[in-house]
A and B are shown apart, each in its own frame.
Chain A
Amino acid sequence: MSGALVEVADLRKRYPGAPVDAVAGISFEVREGEIFGLLGPNGAGKTTTIGTITTRVRPTSGRVVVDGFDVRRDPVAVKRRIAVVPQRSNLDRSLTAVENLAFHAAYFGAGRRERRRRALEMLARMGLEGRADDKVDQYSGGMAQRLMIARALMHEPRLLILDEPTTGLDPQSRLFLWEAMLDLRARGVTLMLTTHDMAEADRLCDRIAIVDHGRVIALDTPRGLRRLLPAEHGVEVVVSGPEPLAVAGAEKVEGAADDDRWHGRVYGELAPGDVADAVRAAGRELVELRRIEGSLEDVFVHLTGRELR
């Protein structure tokens, strides 16, 4: 298929001794030049899926192809084309920042002078100039993350894979990373990231696969995913008493009783005030009222019936 840099077809992975598949038949493709997101709760199979693309996890069955190379048959060719920014720092602690970059480039065949020049250039691009000769254990979490992105870019990969890139970062570092990722896409790098942060996925990704229990349960643009909601707008409500609440003018009402309360979602062009009126008219007590904004969080809840975290 033209334009696909990564093709994953019916990928399955069961770890030895595990009772269920960590990945239970995932298919998707990542197109050249896009930012592709894998979104889902912890344990959904995101990291395992990424692992098969980076050749670190052997698929139990199915096919994973990167730029025409099968990860099982041609792992070295795949490794030449990808770069990975892991969740946790795996920088070389025996080396300084600039040496981390320079040796990485050396692994990919860069000459001595070339690697140092590129390393310094990349440090400057990631806002780390002046810290080139620091040992990496003196780096803060945000700086380490930036250095790992710099390292990943040293060999000019076609595909940059980021596993939970902003988890645990302060807001400023997070914004910097988001800008950096958008900048990379503008330069033609294809990006793939995993996240359980809806705002992050919404802001960055061109397309998102929502993953749950080792399966892709939806794949679309953020806008397309929002359209999966019965209506883009509605109200989430909790009222006293277990019976469903009737709301005049609602397109759809769904909900469940829980502990002598009814938790419901009322979809339609309704103002929260309309729902509050309906609660009062029914002689019930309003416990909680929230406008559904059509966020990806709401899409996830709608698709799985569960909160994301």
Chain B
Amino acid sequence: MIRAFLALCERDLYVTVRREPVSFLAQSLLQPLFFLFVFGRVLPEIGAAQGDYGSQLLPGILALTLVLTALQNVALPLVIEFSFTKEIEDRLLAPLPVSWVAVEKLLIATVRGVVGGLLILPLGELILPGGIDLGGASIPVLAAMLVAGALVGACLGLVLGTVVPPNRISVAFGLILTPLIFTGATFYPWEALDSLRWFQVVTLLNPMTYVSEGLRGAITDAPHLATGWIVLGIAAGVAVFGGLGVRGFLRRAVD
């Protein structure tokens, strides 16, 4: 069963590297690239934001890349493989428990998310006016946050890919991604929202908030959510969405 699991991973990594590296990179990096450029470079340049806004923006964009890359790398293929190409069937009939196939999807999407996140760092160095400064960053915390952030995104993607009916997936993507992006403490530190209390509370429902804040804590010395809340928020996100996702997957896989 372990060998079957590893073979599934091998297949997915092989396809990522050999068949679709360009589309993978475009899908995961294009959006954060534009956010970084427009918000981090253009706005300060034209005086619509402060010069150091970029350094506050970077952790949020990193979180966005981790979560969305992992999310899309689970949800989109799943919808297609379950409904249109039926490709998933050959993997469901491989000699391993069906739930492991779901876990394999989460694992590979997490890896893809982390790769996307790591690529954002050199891009930030190039794009942001002040470059990026990881001098004061805690590398172990940063590494843990990269993995945790991508895993949260993968779990969200598993829910989206299995619970939403295939004919509604484009609507669901629009309805879910936009609020996810803009309520995830992406473009602002969470604490700065205290003058907009109701919105501050709303953002706590978005698991990405904890990823953004965690990365803010890892990279910058700006104020951020307390570590305990961050750990709790991410753990809860993985448990709830991971659980729902695996259940949804089992329901789709076995009638």
A residues at B contact (CB < 8 Å): 15, 51, 54-58, 75-76, 79-80, 82-84, 86, 88-95, 103-104, 106-109, 151
CA distance A83 to B90 in the complex (A): 9
B residues at A contact (CB < 8 Å): 1, 3-4, 7-8, 10-11, 14-15, 19-20, 85-98, 253-255
Interface centre among B7, B91, B96, B254 (most CB of A within 10 A): B7
Pull 15 A–B residue pairs with CB atoms less than 8 Å apart, ordered by A: A55-B93, A57-B255, A58-B254, A58-B255, A80-B95, A88-B86, A89-B86, A90-B86, A92-B90, A94-B15, A95-B15, A107-B4, A107-B8, A107-B90, A107-B94
Residues of A within 8 A of B93 (CB): 54-56, 79, 82-84
**CB-based contact A79/B253 at 8 Å:** no
**CB-based contact B86/A86 at 8 Å:** yes
**CB-based contact B96/A76 at 8 Å:** yes
- By beta carbon, the residue of chain A nearest B11 is A103
Give min CB distance, B104 to chain A, whole Å: 11
Residues of B within 8 A of A108 (CB): 4, 94-95
CA distance A75 to B7 in the complex (A): 19
Q: Chain A at the B interface: mostly helix, strand, loop or mixed?
A: loop
- By beta carbon, the residue of chain B nearest A109 is B3
- By beta carbon, the residue of chain A nearest B96 is A76
CA distance A12 to B113 in the complex (A): 44
CA distance A57 to B92 in the complex (A): 12
Residues of A within 8 A of B255 (CB): 15, 51, 56-58
CA distance A92 to B254 in the complex (A): 20
Q: What 6 A-B pairs come out closest when comparing CB atoms?
A: A90-B86, A107-B94, A106-B7, A90-B89, A94-B15, A57-B255
Residues of A within 8 A of B85 (CB): 90, 93
Residues of B within 8 A of A55 (CB): 93, 254
Residues of B within 8 A of A58 (CB): 254-255
Residues of B within 8 A of A82 (CB): 93
**CB-based contact A104/B90 at 8 Å:** yes
Residues of B within 8 A of A151 (CB): 90
CA distance A151 to B94 in the complex (A): 12
CA distance A238 to B246 in the complex (A): 59
CA distance A75 to B97 in the complex (A): 8
CA distance A237 to B155 in the complex (A): 65
**CB-based contact A76/B97 at 8 Å:** yes
CA distance A15 to B90 in the complex (A): 23
CA distance A54 to B255 in the complex (A): 12
